[in-house]
Amino acid sequence: MRLAALALLLLAGCATPGTETACRGGTLTATVTEAYFGRSLRDRAEVTDAEWDGFLREVVTPAFPDGLTALDGAGQWRRPDGTILRERSKLLILVLPGADTATARFLPAETVWKTRFGQQSVLTVHRPACVGF
């Protein structure tokens, strides 16, 4: 699993953000989406592993059945008042064929997460890449 995630990150490095991706050497144009899900909740204990697994099973996997990588993370962010908050997180990595489809395709999953767990946002990164399998 770690090797697959590393390979995805290395493959993603062949693209320059904001430019057309010209893939060579048997690779294909793709979009890499990274989504960072904070697990801390305001009014209760954090999102459990079982709740995360349910979100993957019910929402993400049906939308992206070809595969994904999910990693544990330790995130932090600064509130407007300057307070630094730290929380456990999940990083979801998707490699989608073609260009520019990731934002629209991933938006429903973001919406479900925010609604289900009362979150304000999900940090998402979409970037062009050249991928090969």
For the chain, 133 residues long, give each residue's pLDDT as a single digit of tens: 343 443 344 344 444 444 455 888 889 999 999 999 999 888 888 999 999 999 999 999 999 998 899 999 999 889 899 999 899 999 999 998 887 677 788 999 999 999 999 898 899 999 999 999 8
Class of domain 2-9+29-128: alpha beta
* pLDDT for position 86: 92
Cα–Cα distances in Å, from 89 out to 12, 50, 108? 22, 14, 19
- Domain layout of the chain by residue ranges: 2-9+29-128
User: pTM of the full predicted structure?
Assistant: 0.78
Say if CB 31 and CB 126 are below 8 A apart.
Answer: yes
